[in-house]
Amino acid sequence: MTIQGILPLEGIKVIAAASSKKRLFHDIGNMAESCFGLNHTMVVDALVEREGLGPTGVGQGVALPHARLPALDQVCGLFVRIKKPLDFDSVDRQPVDLAFALFAPEDAGVEHLKALALVSRTLRDENIRTKLRANEDPSTIYTILTEAVTAQAA
């Protein structure tokens, strides 16, 4: 599994701000609708439901919101860089400015966990986070995310 396999170039967005976690989920829902043809409301509801189990802010300004959706047949993802960091109830209490949302089929099993591990490992790298925060161009962000994994694998 690679980031190229789950994240399309058009699945990257830089936004100025999000007024709340739920507002960010609505932005992600809009992206999921346009990129993957998913129902906006279903995506938002699934993200809110999952977040109710515990915050997906993993620290260092990174959030990994994720959900399982019946409308999917493979794992897919979206990336949002938020210029004005957002309170996300993260484990380290730091606001979030990098969010990688993952969606998996309801019966994805281990594939969902592999995708979460891959994205988490990538965004744990301080150099990658620094580069992501320094760029606003979706193509550049895509290159940073996809080349990071290739470099780590080598």
Known catalytic residues are 66
Q: How many C-beta atoms surround the C-beta of residue 128 within 10 A? A: 20
> Cβ distance 120 to 58 under 8 Å?
yes
d(CA 124, CA 136) in angstroms, rounded, equals 20
> Cβ distance 96 to 90 under 8 Å?
yes
Please count the residues of the chain: 154
